[in-house]
Homo-oligomer: A and B are copies of this chain.
């Protein structure tokens, strides 16, 4: 006789239950299919979803465990916990002075000369004690969670030495154990060329390939390898070499691609069967074609364009219409986009890239899960999936982009446990 699972958590009376059940990933018109159930309910057993459906049926379906938590959603909107597929959360020093210099019209060069940019973050990270970095990162993870985000991809990339990259990845690993939020770790040793290798960049590339990647994979500290593939950082051939070494070492691939110029980064990402190509503000026609109906998702970061005071956003509509898998992310980082809110990113995606609320929700649930390689576990509310659930203080999901700049998250549940109540 099969063991009957009992519900440890029951959410009833959900106004709009957005399950996202359906094809993975979502492409084209499928992005608007939310699997929406009105008057819905969810039963959870332990850390997994037991049943999803009409509230009355779910209530009748599952026997309740002793001490079962019962939540009356009172007409709220409920979605899968949001997933942020591109963040740089491990840093201490904030860079608000650079932000202000940009507002005042200072150029990238002037800011770099005044000691700003990624290298400023590298200098700071290398010399900041682990305890301080842990504390600052933890406060960011708290904020992600408070905004209804239950999983983030988290990159290294402010170390740029074997020791300091490992320092960042170990912080991610340690916080993964200590904090309810789930992090997908990505090695980004190729975020920049560090100061000490400016005149001998090939040596740094050798270090990446021969020392850093083996060290990271040896300790199992990353699932993905990412690279800043861009004119003036790592060119196409360098990116191909470094990412081939990472793939050979067993890492899945991501690319920062075609952000500032079209250099063929999207095409490279698709040809290397990367899980995602990210940024893509200047993606070419050929790049878009390469991504369409490939296995490589496009992770778009409208907050970065916004926060840099830019005018040009990634061509989301065109990509959606041509069959590219589109996900959205904060790009949370101290230089070009300091936010832990996917809600504000969804408002920007609507207003600047003309994505509807439904498309944007697809982009931060099922498609974001795909972009981090966890689509079989998270991003949907369905039987046997992990019980990552966000309840929203709204009665129509379309309020998300419209009611902008505020946090409409109500309760957040991670692996079946309530972790935020607002």
Where the two chains meet, the residues of A that have a C-beta atom closer than 8 Å to any C-beta of B are 94-97, 99-100, 103-105, 143, 147, 303, 306-307, 309, 338-341, 343-345, 350-352, 354-357, 396, 398-399, 401-407
Contacts and interface: CB of A to CB of B under 8 A. Distances in A.
Contacts of A398: 96-97, 99-100
A350 B94 contact: no
A399 B147 contact: no
Contacts of A405: 303, 339, 341, 343-345, 405
Contacts of A147: 406
A306 to B, nearest CB: 7
A103 B399 contact: no
B407 A407 contact: yes
- Specify how many copies of this chain sit in the oligomer: 2
7 contacts: A94-B399, A99-B398, A100-B356, A100-B402, A306-B404, A338-B403, A339-B405
Contact of A404 (B344, B352, B401, B406): B344
B94 A338 contact: no
Contacts of A103: 350-351, 354-356, 401
B343 A94 contact: no
A318 to B, nearest CB: 14
Nearest to A408: B143
A354 B404 CA distance: 21
B356 A403 contact: no
Contacts of A345: 405
Contacts of A343: 405
A342 B294 CA distance: 42
Contacts of A356: 100, 103-104
Given A104-B356, A343-B405, 13 more contacts: A94-B396, A94-B399, A99-B398, A100-B350, A100-B357, A143-B406, A147-B406, A338-B403, A338-B404, A339-B406, A344-B405, A405-B405, A407-B407
